[in-house]
Every structure is written in structure tokens, then in C-alpha cells.
Structure 1
Amino acid sequence: MNDLNARRPLKIRDVKIVNRFASFLSSKNITPNQISVLSVAFAALAAFSFLMYAREQHWWLLILAGLSIQCRLLCNLFDGMVAVEGGKSTKSGEMFNDIPDRVADPLILVTAGYAIHVVGYGGELGWCAGLLAVMTAYIRSLNASIGTPVDFKGPMAKQHRMAVMTFACVFASGEIIFWKTDYTLLIALILICLGCVITCIRRTISAYRFLEA
């Protein structure tokens, strides 16, 4: 991750405590690539939580899934900060920055679909969300490879998808306690699918206009 223009714009990088923790990580024998791989482990923990919830329907499994999703995002934040601000960027950094995300997104979204009990098509919806999430990233990478500016616009970029899923986990845990339903997860995945379609269209149109200008 050597090109600052190719970084996702995040205001949280300016928070002092975040910078201090990034500096702490940079001072240790920890590489950005290791942090990137750790993000997949947290995504796998979220996936495991969703699959266990599909069997047991314990509300705390949804909380665990939400916490794991946020830990995944923190890894995504700190791998870049350790690489750039910490001066530990490597030639293979772009691979480790991108490939783990393409694994983590489907892990979370697909298994969230299987966790839905209120309808019979939750699994299919999860697969749809996972594929569309990968598609948004593919269009971004494709556009950058053909010379257009790196485009992180939403409405359902990675941080937006994971924010929706985190809130869904929190609200669904309350829903399962009081009503024994999980409509929140269903609504969240529908919003992610629709938002990803819009995101793909917006990024494609932006690239087209740039190339044809």
C-alpha cells in the first residue's frame, strides 16, 4: 500500500488514540501483512457465530458476530496505518491488502444469510450479498487498472456493508430475545444487496465518464 491516493479515505485515522495504537503496533515485530491475514480470522469467527446461531439461536452469538466484524475492520484500518505511517510497506502489501477482504466479505455475508430463520431463502440472499460485495471491489480494482481514479464511493462500500451488519447483529440479538424472530438480518442483507447494485452502477458510470471525457 504505497500509493496514498489508493487508500480508502477514513477520518478515524486522525483520531489520536488510533494513531497511538498504530505507532505501538509499528514498534513491534508485527507486519501489515500479518494484520491483514488476522482480519480473515476475525471474519471466520463471525461466520462461525452466524452458523452456530443458525443452529442454536442464542442471542449472544449475534453479539459475538458483530464484535468480530468490528475487529475485522480494525485489522483493515491498522494494516494500512502500520504499512504507511509506520513505514513497513512491502511490495506484496497490495496483495495482502486486497485478497483477505475478498475472502472476509463473503464469509460474513453468506453465513449471515444462513442464520436467517424467518424466510426460506436466507442462504440464497447471503450468497447474493457476498457476490455483489466482491463485484463492487472488482469494479474498483478494474477501473484503477485501466487508469481511472480509485473509487471508493458507496452507498455500500466495505465499511458501509460492515456497519449495516454490525448494527443488524445488535438489533437482531434484541429481536430474538423479545420476539424470537430475526427480520433485522433479513432487512440488512436486502439493503446490502440493493446498495451494492447501486454502488456497482455508480462506480461503473464514474469510470466511463472519466475515460470518455
Structure 2
Amino acid sequence: MTDSRRPLKSRGAGWARALAAGLARTGVRPDVISASSVVFALAGAAAFWLSADAGGWCRPALLIAAALCIQLRLLANLLDGMVAVEHGRGGPLGPVWNELPDRIADALFLVGAGYALRHLSPDPGPLLGWLAAVLAVLTAYIRELGRALGFEADFAGPGAKPHRMAALTAGCLLAAAEPLWRGGPPMLLLTLALIVVLTAVTVVRRTLRLAARLRAAPV
């Protein structure tokens, strides 16, 4: 159903339409594109993990690789729906493949980013990563709960998936550049803390919006 799709300006971009058309011509199924987002997330989580013990140029390179994996995940999320809807390639299991890989990818990236900070003492990074992951799943749960109750999908932020991934990408790039200025708090730690706050606000906001819809609905 198209009303459950996240509104994205990039969906109308010429490059996105061309990529989706090209994938549709090859016959690749949208479910496979959805699954590829988990592969990118696994690669990103591995880059985060390895970055904690890396020295010299390796740590910035791994953080940049993680940022690239985040963007490839988002690209897969964009194209799977376009191939399914615009090109009529969707299957009966589409809703499962549309949601489940997203939840796995969110957790891999956020928890992975937390463990990229496990070298700190004290090490709040893993806790922040897990907390961000749980809150991310909650935002999706509240959205899907609303849909199950008959309402349109609520993609309200400020900590929706695109916002979280944009913040994490920026945090990776800033953390990669830390050797240039030396000193100061770890940028990845600040980024995870920001994601936790924004996602918690989103959980509360979506819950209140759903409650308001329920109160306004006819009995």
C-alpha cells in the first residue's frame, strides 16, 4: 500500500527513477533489495567495531566506510519500494521485507556505533548504542501500531529513521576528522547521545499523536 510509504523527496529525483528502472529491468526482486540493506548494515557494524582498535589512518578510513554503508542502506530502502510500487514487482511478503530488515539494520548501525567507543574509559558508548537501538524499534512499533488501528502511518520526527541515519553519517565523518583538531569530546559519542534524545522525543511525540487520534476517532 502506498499510504504506508515514507514521504521522500528523493523518490522523485531523476537518478532514483533511473536506478529503480534499471533494477526492475534486471528482474531483481524488491525483497532482495530490502535484504541487501542488512548486508550493508553488517559491513557498517564491522567497520565500527574495528575502528575502536584501529590506529593511524585506519580509524578515519573505517569511520568513513561506516558512513558509506549507512548511505547504501538508505539507498536500498529507497529503491526497494520504488521497484515494488512504481514498477509493479511487489510480492505477498513485501510488507515483511519492508519492515524487518529495517529494524535489523537500525540495530546493527546504532549498536555498532556504540561499540566503536568501547575503548573509552568509562565507556558509555555501548549503553548509548543499545538504548538508541531500542528507541528506534519503538518508533517503528508505534507507527505500525497506529496503522494496525486503522490510521495513516506516522513518520513524525525529530528522530525518525532518515534523521537518525543523517546524524550518524555526520557523526562518522566528524569523528573521522578528529585528528585534524585534536582534543575535545568524541564526536561519535555526542552523536549517539543526540540520537538517543531525538529518538526518545519521537517516541513520546508519536505516542501522543496516536492517543489524540484515538480520542478523536468515532466510537
Same fold at TM > 0.5? yes
- Partner of residue 215, structure 2: 212
- Partner of residue 169, structure 2: 166
- Partner of residue 142, structure 1: 145
Structure 2 CA distance, aligned partners of 1:171 and 1:9? 28
Q: Secondary structure at the match of 1:55?
A: coil
Amino acid of the structure 1 residue aligned with 2:159: M
- Unmatched 5+ stretches in structure 1: none
Number of aligned residue pairs: give it.
211
Structure 1 CA distance, aligned partners of 2:19 and 2:172? 27
Structure 2 CA distance, aligned partners of 1:111 and 1:83? 30
Of the three residues 2, 5, 15, the one matched with 1:17 is 15
List structure 1 segments (4+ residues) > 4 angstroms apart after TM superposition: none
Q: Secondary structure at the match of 1:88?
A: coil
Distance change >3 Å, CA 182–CA 91, structure 1 → 2: farther
Amino acid of the structure 2 residue aligned with 1:40: V
Structure 2 CA distance, aligned partners of 1:64 and 1:90? 32
After TM superposition, give the deviation of residue 176 of structure 1 in Å.
3.6
Structure 1 CA distance, aligned partners of 2:180 and 2:64? 12
Q: Secondary structure at the match of 2:53?
A: helix
Contact persistence 1:148–1:211 (CA under 8 A): no
After TM superposition, give the deviation of residue 182 of structure 1 in Å.
6.3
Amino acid of the structure 2 residue aligned with 1:53: S
Q: Which deviates more, 30-39 or 202-211? A: 202-211
- Partner of residue 104, structure 1: 105
Q: Secondary structure at the match of 1:5?
A: helix
After TM superposition, give the deviation of residue 56 of structure 1 in Å.
1.1
Contact persistence 1:172–1:182 (CA under 8 A): no
- Unmatched 5+ stretches in structure 2: none
Structure 1 CA distance, aligned partners of 2:35 and 2:185? 31
- Show CA shifts across 1:39-70 (max 9, x none): 00000000000000012142100000000000
Amino acid of the structure 2 residue aligned with 1:108: F
Structure 2 CA distance, aligned partners of 1:206 and 1:73? 26
Of the three residues 180, 184, 199, the one matched with 2:187 is 184
Amino acid of the structure 1 residue aligned with 2:155: F
After TM superposition, give the deviation of residue 166 of structure 1 in Å.
0.5
Q: Are 1:155 and 2:153 an aligned pair?
A: no
Distance change >3 Å, CA 176–CA 105, structure 1 → 2: farther
Q: Secondary structure at the match of 2:96?
A: helix
Q: Percent identity among equivalent residues?
A: 44
- Partner of residue 70, structure 2: 69
